[in-house]
Structure 1
Amino acid sequence: MTAAEAARSRNNTSLGALYTVLAMLGFAIMDAMSKWVVADYSIGQMMWIRYGVFCVFAWLLVRRKGLRAMARTRRPWLQGGRSILILVESAVFVLALAYLPLADTHALASTSPLIVIMFGVAFLGERAGPARWLAVVVGFLGMLLIVRPGLRSFDWPMLLPIVGAVMWAAYQVLVRVCTRTDSADTTFVWTAFAGLAATTLVGPWQWQWPSAIGWTLLIAIALLNALASYSLIRAFAVAEAGAVQPYSYTALVWVTILGLVVFGDFPDEWTILGTAIIVASSLYTWHHDRRNGSSRA
Structure 2
Amino acid sequence: MMMCAAVVCFSLLDAAAKWLGSSMQAMQVVTARYVVSVALVSIVLNPWTRPGIARTRRPWLQGFRSLLLLVSTALNFFALNYLQLAETISIMFATPFLVALLAGPLLGEWAGPRRMAAIAVGFLGVLVVTRPGLGGLHPAALLSVCGAFCYAFYSLSTRMLAASDSSETTMFYSGIVGVVVMLPLLPLFWSWPTDGLSWLLLICTGVFGTIGHWLLILAHRRAPATVLSPFIYSQIIWMVGLGWLVFGQIPDRYTLLGAAIVIASGLYLLYRERVRAVPEGSARLD
Asked if TM exceeds 0.5, the reply is yes
Q: How does 1:75-224 map to 2 (within 5 A)?
A: 75-153=58-136, 155-210=138-193, 211-224=195-208
State the alpha-carbon separation in 2 of the partners of residues 126 and 19 from structure 1: 29
Which residue number corresponds to residue 6 of structure 2?
A: 23
Q: Residues 103-134 of structure 1, C-alpha deviation per residue, up to 9 Å, x if partnerless? A: 01111121111111012112111131111100
Rounded Cα–Cα distance in structure 1 between residues aligned with 2:15 and 2:137? 24
- C-alpha distance in 2 between matches for 1:77 and 1:236: 26
Asked if the contact 1:53/1:219 (under 8 Å) is kept, the reply is yes
Q: Does the 8 Å CA contact 1:47/1:203 hold for their aligned counterparts?
A: no
Matched position secondary structure for 1:66? coil
Matches of 2:6 and 2:172, distance apart in 1: 17
- Corresponding residue for 1:249? 233
- One-letter amino acid matched to 1:226: T
Q: What's the CA shift for 1:61?
A: 1.4
What amino acid is the match of 2:254?
Answer: W
Alignment of 1:230-241 (within 5 A): 230-232=214-216
Which residue matches 1:229?
Answer: 213
Relative distance call for 1:39 and 1:28 in structure 2 (3 A) is: same
Range moving further from structure 2, 174-183 or 132-141 = 174-183
* CA apart distance, 1:32: 0.5
Distance 1:153 1:251 in 2: 23
Secondary structure at the counterpart of residue 151 of structure 2: helix
**Change in 2 beyond 3 A, CA 1:171/1:71:** same
8 Å Cα contact 2:47-2:54 kept in structure 1: no
- Give the gaps of 5 or more residues in structure 1: 1-17
Q: How far does residue 154 in structure 1 lie from its aligned partner after superposition?
A: 5.7
Change in Cα spacing, 1:187 to 1:248, as seen in structure 2 (3 Å) is: same
Q: Secondary structure in 1 aligned to 2:31?
A: helix
Residues 35, 208 of structure 1: alpha-carbon distance in 2 compared, 3 angstrom cutoff: same
Counterpart of 1:8?
Answer: none
Q: Which moved more, 1:117-126 or 1:243-252?
A: 243-252
Contact residue 175 and residue 236 of structure 1 kept, 8 A: no
- Compute the displacement of 1:181 (Å): 2.0
Greater per-residue helix proportion: 1
Cα deviation code 1:220-261 (max 9, x no counterpart): 111111222344466677877666443321221211111111
- For residues 203 and 174 of structure 1, the distance between their equivalents in structure 2, rounded to whole angstroms, comes to 28
* Deviation (angstroms), 1:89: 0.7
Distance 1:91 1:97 in 2: 10
Normalising by structure 1, what TM-score?
0.85
CA contact (8 A) 1:121 1:127 kept: yes
RMSD value, Cα: 2.3
Q: Which residue of 1 aligns with 2:245?
A: 261
User: TM-score of the superposition, structure 2-length normalised?
Assistant: 0.88
Q: Do the aligned residues in 2 keep the contact of 1:23 with 1:227 (CA within 8 Å)?
A: yes
Aligned residues: 278
CA offset digits 1:39-58 (Å, max 9, x no partner): 11222222222221122112
CA contact (8 A) 2:16 2:205 kept: yes
Q: Secondary structure at the match of 2:81?
A: helix
1:19·1:232 contact (CA, 8 Å) conserved in 2? yes
Post-superposition shift, 1:88?
A: 1.0
Query: 2:202 is aligned with what amino acid?
Result: L
